[in-house]
Chains A and B, each alone.
Chain A
Amino acid sequence: MTFSYKTLIFFAFALLACVPYGAYAAEIRLDANKSEINFGEQFLIDIVLHSKESVNAIEGRLVFPQDLLSVKEIRDGNSVINFWVEKPRVDTPGIVLFSGITPGGFSGANNNIFSVVFEAKNTGVASVALQNIKALKNDGLGTESVLSTRDTAVSIKHGDSNVRKETLIDTELPEDFNPTISSDPNLFDGKYFLVFATQDKTSGIDHYEVREGRWGFFREAESPYLLKYRDLNRDVYVKAVDHAGNERVAVVPARYARAPWEKSGLFAILIVLVLVALLYKRTWIRFIK
């Protein structure tokens, strides 16, 4: 008598479902959108938290068999987490790390933490598991919530060669945001730095870019960002780019009077060029005399 992978997985989860979760204050589980896929196909796993009490911080890691699965994308656009201490990322092969907080906390069922798009690299049963998970109560002390975890497994088999992708259409810009310039004796030796954070409700924020002043290039940056020009006499531009490439730019106005080249742009450059020309003329006349 032989059992298919599908049957085995069904019985395993039916057994798990019988385990009483009433003893736990919170449950974090993995929801796969498919239980059986073909080689080369993509599928989605949601990391979901159900909690009877208010929790405000969560951390842990997601472990997957790297010989069977590869991470194609991590989506945190609709996450209940407001600020990531460690944005979900593949830290070492086969491990996705995450850590974040929600001010004021949250409770209830089906709170999405983030989602991972996997692609099947090989045939077999891919078990995806949660490890070292901690959820802390919103009690002002960081007390650990009693937590249960529910893992998942997906059966990968040979199938048709049409690779199905987990596509997401995102035409919305990232949320409007207000970057802030600050200083703190415990960071960057008290020098001015820039902090910024926003959300993109569909695909999530991919990265940020910063440009100091009117001229120059945007460069990829992370918050907190040590300002290069600390006279605070130029506008600072922060660009949030989502996973679909939509961009939102926020500007922090100069705190003090802008330098001439910041204020007047091309006009200032023309004035400087005229001055240089005059200087050249005077110097040359003196030289030939």
Chain B
Amino acid sequence: MNRTRNLFLSVLFLLLAGPFVAQAITVEITATVPGCGDGVIGSGEQCDGSNLGGSSCSSLGFTGGTFSCTSACTFNTSQCTSGSSGGGGGGGGGGAPSSPSIPDTNVVFSGRAYPLSRVSILKDGQIALTTIAGPDSNFTATISGLSTGNYTFAVYGEDKNNIRSSLFTFPIFITSGVTTKISGIFIAPTIAVDKGEVRRGDNIAIFGQSAPASEITISVNSNEEFFVKKMSDAGGVYLLNFDTSVLEMGQHNTKSKVALNGEISSFSKVIGFAVGTKNVLAQLPKVVAKGDTNGDGRVNLVDFSVAAYWYKRASPPASSDLNGDGKVDLVDFSIMAFNWTG
């Protein structure tokens, strides 16, 4: 009877407790669970336990002392010494060592987009923040918590029809503890046409949005390039009815740029249209751009990852093979980078 009982107990124990043996092992792993107190410096933490991330009193501007981490995973500099030698006098001064403030590393962006438009700022290809421009099209935004090093920032705007501007990209070297101000960003106008094909001699409407009451230069590219200037209205909208009688039959491009108070933008995206024998209405530029493999309206790391999976593999899907040459190679990634939204 005892033998049977022992056997039953053993089997029952193995069946029921088996999974928890594994759990018991993993319980010890709680030490590595990110969060304050796990010894791993996670998001929003300056340090964790004895893991100080390489910081010290001296790296924070003190002359010496004991540096530690608080229970809230922030730097504890109370035992650091500032070593302000000599000096005497100076009344007051309680006993606590003076703590020099740690300057933030910020980048402040300011410029013009379109009235009340959404402006997105990308840091190294990924959206760092979005903001809304004022009615005067001006915007200001700040990105904090940066390291010392080279960054590539990019800015783009979306107009009232959700048409996106081209990316305005600039690489910058950021120094720790310094606030870098980038002003004078002038986002290029958006642009669209009302016809994909226009009968020669008829008008084609070229329109878009930019800063209010600003001078828009519209280029229509043919054998000879035509430049026409228009003023945008109070809402930043511009419209040019271009007479196509001066254009040859065939494919043409148009683009625009804006100038205001001595500041000038780069050219917008290029929009194509044909001059032919009939009029064919055009659709507004697609919100879903080439490179948006999963159709979520954005071209970002997800699309890049899907395309990267198919890089140099046989029979890639059409959504990743952007130039339709039967393979995913650098050209497809270049097209994706051009249409990137982050």
Give A residues with C-beta under 8 Å from B.
54, 56-59, 77-80, 82-83, 85-86, 99, 101-106, 108, 111-112, 134, 136-142, 170-173, 175-178, 180, 182-187, 193, 195-197, 199, 201-202, 211, 214-218, 223-224, 237, 239, 246-251, 261, 265-266, 269, 272-273, 276, 279-280, 283-284, 287-288
Contact = CB atoms under 8 A, between A and B. Distances in A.
Given A83-B304, A134-B330, A199 B54 contact: no
Contacts of A197: 126, 301
Contacts of B34: 237, 249, 251
Contacts of A217: 29, 32
B306 to A, nearest CB: 5
14 contacts: A56-B334, A59-B330, A80-B152, A82-B125, A86-B311, A105-B167, A140-B335, A186-B293, A186-B317, A186-B320, A201-B150, A215-B27, A249-B41, A266-B27
A57 B306 contact: no
Given A83-B304, A142-B323, 14 more contacts: A78-B150, A80-B152, A85-B333, A99-B333, A104-B167, A104-B337, A140-B335, A184-B302, A186-B306, A193-B305, A202-B148, A217-B29, A272-B20, A279-B16
A140 B301 contact: no
Nearest to A179: B301
B145 interface: yes
A141 B330 CA distance: 11
Interface residues of B, number: 69
Contacts of B43: 176, 248-251
Contact of A187 (B26, B306, B323): B306
A55 B294 CA distance: 25
Contacts of B29: 215-217
B305 to A, nearest CB: 4
B94 interface: no
A82 B124 contact: yes
Q: Which 7 A-B pairs have the closest CB atoms?
A: A201-B149, A171-B54, A103-B340, A104-B169, A142-B331, A104-B167, A215-B26
B147 interface: yes
B57 interface: no
B23 to A, nearest CB: 6
Interface in B283-342: 290, 293-294, 301-302, 304-306, 308-311, 317, 319-320, 323, 330-340, 342
Given A82-B125, A136-B331, A237-B34, A182 B338 contact: no
A103 B125 CA distance: 6
A85 to B, nearest CB: 6
Given A82-B124, A171-B54, A186-B293, A201 B335 contact: no
A169 to B, nearest CB: 8
A246 B340 CA distance: 30
B128 to A, nearest CB: 10
B40 interface: yes
Contacts of B339: 140
A23 B68 CA distance: 58
B149 A77 contact: yes
